[in-house]
Amino acid sequence: MKKPRLTMLFTALLLVAFASPDLVAAQTMPMTMNEQMDKLRGLNGRDFDVQFMKDMIGHHQSAIEMASLAPANANRQEVKDLAASIVADQQREIGEMTGWLRNWYNEQPAGMMMMTDMQAKVDRLKTLRGDEFDRQFLIDMIPHHQDAVDMAKLIPERAARAELKTLGQNITSSQSREIDQMTGWLNQWYNVNTQGQPLVSSAAGTTNVAPTSPTTTLPPTGNANLILPFALLLALLALVTGLVLRRRTA
């Protein structure tokens, strides 16, 4: 009976070793914005309403965390006023969506899980002061607003509730207006575009983006995902060797 038990143990540990990275990643890694959008595009009616509100609540929470840094870190009053407006508007919308989730669908918001790139932006903003903060805050908040607008534009053809459709219209109009405002400030105050690239004046007096060198994005190597399986495999081999030696000496 010892051989079947040993084989079963070996098989079980081997499965755990190579399944663990994917299982851990699935449970702990937040989705990217593209993944959230792809998921929403495949939903309709109740399922869309619930997922949209849970996603947008988390998205609003990250914007509030960024904007809450402005009173202490920003230089320009315009940035402080905009940040205060973002906090007030998005806290109100979080309250509305939380109530709708509960009253319409008996659901609760998902726990706060900020995307990795967004957490990095918040951490960077915490280290900046004055004009450096203002500039980076605008650069970071513009694409964050654009993501919210893109999500809201999915509502008309997919949502079940009229109230959610009205909210989507409000998000689209208010955050598009703020995007235009922040873009203008970047141009006027810092002579950069929304990516932080410098603007140059052409002979005709128009403003263009200064050329930049192309960048190459390398795919992830996945080496980190191999550490756990090999470590468990080594532990497994050590265990099997110990059992075999113990059996021989018995």
Counting every residue, how long is the chain?
A: 250
8 pLDDT higher than 70: no
20 pLDDT higher than 50: no
pTM summary value:
0.72
pLDDT of the residue at 209: 53
What mean pLDDT is reported for the chain? 82
Q: Three-state DSSP class for 209?
A: strand
37: how many CB neighbours lie within 10 A of its CB? 15
Residues paired with residue 199 on neighbouring β-strands, in sequence order? 209
Residue 20 in contact with residue 53, Cβ under 8 Å? no
Report DSSP letters for 132-160, one per residue.
Answer: HHHHHHHHHHHHHHHHHHHHHTTHHHH-S
Max CA separation in the chain (angstroms): 92
What is 31-196's CATH superfamily?
Ferritin, core subunit, four-helix bundle (1.20.1260.10)
pLDDT digits (tens, 9 = 90+) for 62-88: 999 999 999 999 999 999 999 999 999
CA dist 75 and 169 (Å) reads 32
Q: What is the pLDDT confidence band of residue 11, given thresholds at 50, 70 and 90?
A: low
Residue 142 in contact with residue 75, Cβ under 8 Å? no
Residues paired with residue 43 on neighbouring β-strands, in sequence order? none
Residue 102 in contact with residue 108, Cβ under 8 Å? yes
> What's the token pair of residue 197?
């690239």
pLDDT of the residue at 200: 85
Kindly report, as residue ranges, where domains of CATH 1.20.1260.10 are found in the chain.
31-196
